[in-house]
């Protein structure tokens, strides 16, 4: 069963606008972690932000913030003031189990974000 769902295959956004990338997840484990990774056309996988299931506050890292709605099982990524360099594929991912767990992470199908000048 698909555990990470990204319903937006592609998005176009004007430079300097904010953008929200959607992600919903499914798990029965009360302890889990949610991640967002950025993959530019060069191929590398860049870690952006992490949210633990027990974290009380939404995670933020610079222009990135994670809108974590636990009851709705959603973990949307918000990028403020988008830049041309933000054009990339974005993957939402999840690890089941506590942070100390060596569990693998599973990825969603990704959203390709294109920033227009």
Partner 1 sequence: AAGVIQSPRHLIKEKRETATLKCYPIPRHDTVYWYQQGPGQDPQFLISFYEKMQSDKGSIPDRFSAQQFSDYHSELNMSSLELGDSALYFCASRPSLGTPHEQYFGPGTRLTVT
Residues that bind partner 1 (CB under 8 A): 33, 35, 37, 43-47, 50, 52, 91, 95, 99-100, 102-110
Nearer to partner 1, 20 or 52 (CB): 52
Give the chain as a 3 state SS string.
CCCEECCCCEEEEECCCCEEECCEECCCCCCEEEEEEEECCCCCCEEEEEEECCCCCCCEECCEEEEEECCCCEEEEEECCCCHHHCEEEEEEEEECCCCCCCCEEECCCEEEEEEC
Nearer to partner 1, 79 or 90 (CB): 90
- To the nearest whole angstrom, how small is the minimum distance from the Cβ of residue 73 to partner 1? 19
Nearer to partner 1, 56 or 100 (CB): 100
């Amino acid at each position: 069963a698909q555990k990470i769902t990204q319903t937006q295959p592609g998005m176009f956004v004007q430079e300097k606008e904010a953008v929200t990338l959607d992600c919903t997840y499914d798990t029965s484990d009360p302890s889990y972690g949610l991640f967002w990774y950025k993959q530019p056309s060069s191929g590398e996988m860049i870690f952006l932000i992490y949210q633990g299931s027990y974290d009380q506050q939404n995670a933020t890292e610079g222009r990135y913030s994670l809108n974590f709605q636990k009851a709705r099982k959603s973990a949307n990524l918000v990028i403020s003031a988008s830049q041309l360099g933000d054009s990339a594929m974005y993957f939402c991912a999840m690890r089941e189990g506590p942070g100390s767990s060596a569990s693998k992470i599973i990825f969603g199908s990704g959203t390709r974000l294109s920033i227009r000048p």
